[in-house]
Amino acid sequence: MTDSPLPRIPLDPKEQPILDKLQSIRTELELLKRDRSTYVKSQDVLKLYDQVIEQVIILNEIRESKRLEQNKVDYMLDDCFQLISLAYLTVGKNYEPPAVYSYISTIKRLLDHLKEAMFYSQKDLEALAKNLADCRRYVERGREQYSPHLLTLLEARIDVCEEILADLQLNLSQLTPELTPKWEKLVSLLRSLAGCNARSKFPNDEVDEYNNELVQVQEELKEHGILAYEATGSTEEKLAEMVDKMQLIAANPEPAPAANTLIGTLLRRNLLWVTLIKSKQGRIAPAFQDTYDKLLAIRNKLEKLTLTQAWSLRETDLWDYQRQLDRVDEARVDGNFFDAVGRPAEIYEQRTLLYLLRKSYALIYQLILTSEPVSEALLPIYNQLTTLRKCLKEVKKLGGVSSPRELYPYSMKLNSIDNMRKDGKFMIGDEIPDGQGRVTQLLEECFDLAYELRSDAESDSSADATPQSETPNDTVAA
């Protein structure tokens, strides 16, 4: 996805053929992802990847003296890379450098939003840091196989993400081990409160419970000499001042803010937010209702996908959601949303819409991270084996079976899947899809579980069938 709004710089005539070719490639990629009559094939994705790299090489030669230029070509190039990246996930090539592009693009969005929102936990940063390190490792591992043009692009984007991450980490560096749990609690409460605005019915009782937890935290912080930062004006003005203050801290992380200042400001922001959302009761200003409904619908669809991912998700479908979110995100000015006549949103609408936007990107990131490194063509087999393994483990957990005959349904299914292999490979037509190792490992694990259950059942049956030996005292003389 793009990291900035669509550039308006005039297009160099020399770059027009590149733009036309990239547009043609993007159309092919979109047709590929929409065609549900067949699986996405590795060779089709690799062919289109090679075509994109050819255009990158030509573009770099044209821009040798103007490396920093950004125009419509870059926007189209980003579309192509994003679609190819998601297609790599679809065919099971999750750990290849092209697949890394979608990881990094989404991480960049999340980091920008964390910096803008100015409340996040240490766990958020640790998880993103680990995933960035994994991305760098995948890029390094593909150095011999993939174009240096792609690797340079990926490394540069990873560098940018790591710089933002370092600023965010520095911002929390003054939190002591004793105060860190208080900060984490306040972050969790503010996120939970923000989510209350996106319910079909405003949960007053739940908000009251969160408010009680806030009051408790407030009392605990007094022992550390931390009081809620005071502001003046109406509730909305006070909250806007809190947000501005925290964003100012984020923009100037050196030196890192004192823990008392950081926590006191976030505590006050929580208290003000409770007051504001209870007065609003989930009502969004009519001018921003359409944007709210659009973001809410996207979030709900993505949440549903997280529940049915293994059976219904084609990773390239995420591109449609990304693009819708990008258009909303990039339409903002200085971080705020504007209505049809150019009026900025009030703080309540602004933060509620931003919560839905961030939540949707986070769900996309979760779906990308949990994508199995198995080709779409093998997913039906993989999902069946995953279900079988879960059932067999549950049977074992409940004490096993009383007779080997009870395992017949599992054994028959496992044998039918095993018989699908040709020369030890699961074939789809003449193609050997990616993810063979993962599926084979899962199949062997299921066979091992079934064997253990059968052995235990046979041992129990043998023990029950063995008669007790007679003793001399039991013998009756004739």
Pairing of strands 421-422, 425-426: antiparallel
Check: CB of residue 199 under 8 Å from CB of residue 284.
Answer: no
pLDDT, position 431: 84
The better pLDDT of the pair 181, 335 is held by: 181
| Category of 213 on φ-ψ map: left (φ > 0), alpha (ψ -120 to 50) or beta | alpha
pLDDT, position 386: 93
pLDDT, position 233: 55
What's the CA gap between 73 and 18, in Å, rounded? 7
Check: CB of residue 101 under 8 Å from CB of residue 2.
Answer: no
H helix runs in 313-405, sequence order: 318-330, 347-369, 379-397
Run of H or E including 470: none
**Tokens 């680990």 appear where?**
130
Indicate if the pLDDT at residue 38 is higher than 90: no
What's the CA gap between 195 and 189, in Å, rounded? 10
The better pLDDT of the pair 140, 237 is held by: 140
First to last CA, the chain: 95
What is the pLDDT averaged over residues 108-114?
93
Indicate if the pLDDT at residue 467 is higher than 60: no
pLDDT, position 335: 84
What is the pLDDT averaged over residues 69-83?
87
User: pTM of the full predicted structure?
Assistant: 0.85
pLDDT in tens, 230-276: 555 566 666 666 566 555 555 555 567 788 888 988 998 899 899 99
Q: Look over the chain and give the mean of its residue pLDDT values, rounded to a whole number.
A: 87
Preceding omega of 203 cis (within 30 degrees of 0): no
Indicate if the pLDDT at residue 436 is higher than 50: yes
pLDDT, position 13: 85
pLDDT, position 402: 85
pLDDT, position 21: 95
pLDDT in tens, 335-364: 889 998 989 999 899 999 999 999 999 999
Lowest-pLDDT range of 67-81, 199-213, 251-265? 251-265
| pLDDT grade for 471, boundaries at 50, 70 and 90 | very low
- What are the strands, taking DSSP E only, across 170-293? none
Indicate if the pLDDT at residue 87 is higher than 90: yes
